[in-house]
Amino acid sequence: LGPGCSWYCGGGPYKVTATSFLAPQAGNTYNPENAHDLDYGNAWVEGAKGDGIGEYLTYYFQPYSPRITHIYVVNGYVKTQAAWENNGRVKKLKMYVNDVPYAILCLEDSRSEQAFEFPPIGRGWPENGKADENAKDQTLKFEILEVYKGKKYSDVAISEIYFSGLDVHCFAKGSLV
């Protein structure tokens, strides 16, 4: 993603989980955190039998995390062209916000990053400046609905899902606040 400041200065999930993941092989791991390590050389690979339909990743955010307006998906195991072709990729992801269905992300069968823009997701910091001590974590869940088949393996991979949005930097009279 390169140097400099981003939404991650004040945001980002604190945990990523999955319904399953492939056991380590040949020195590679496939755990859910790989889908959010900002390293295109790693991937989450689901570990269920079949082609991964119904498997999902869940991202956990603090109650007052900055709001999300963009979601980026790097589909498949993009480490190499062969890894990308040999493993399955996601065709459709069902997105849930706090366990409520929110959108269907239709992904191209491409090694390129794919961007999705939304109205602000999340609550951000309260306007009155007072946090509710009973506020619950926010979650985004991404469930595999359809896949592009891999040439060699039925496992489905996602190299990255990451975010951008609002509420991280403010400017007042031309100065960073």
Q: How confident is the chain (177 residues) per 10-residue block, as mean pLDDT? A: 68 94 95 96 96 97 92 97 97 98 98 97 81 89 98 97 84 44
Spatial distance between the Cα atoms of 47 and 30, rounded to a whole number of angstroms: 9
Residues 6+ positions from 102 with CB-CB distance below 8 Å: 95, 96, 121
In the prediction, which pLDDT does 125 show?
77
Helix (H) or strand (E) holding 82: helix 81-86
In the prediction, which pLDDT does 11 show?
79
Across 12-75, the runs of DSSP E, i.e. the strands, are 15-18, 44-45, 56-61, 68-75
- Half-sphere exposure at residue 90, Cβ-oriented, CA atoms within 13 angstroms: 35
In the prediction, which pLDDT does 4 show?
58
In the prediction, which pLDDT does 172 show?
47
CB 17 within 8 A of CB 57: yes
For residue 145, the SS3 value is: strand
Helix (H) or strand (E) holding 86: helix 81-86
pTM assigned to the model: 0.90
User: 167: closest CA among 62, 59, 33?
Assistant: 62
For residue 104, the SS3 value is: strand
In the prediction, which pLDDT does 131 show?
81
**Integer Rg of the chain from CA:** 17
Spatial distance between the Cα atoms of 24 and 9, rounded to a whole number of angstroms: 31
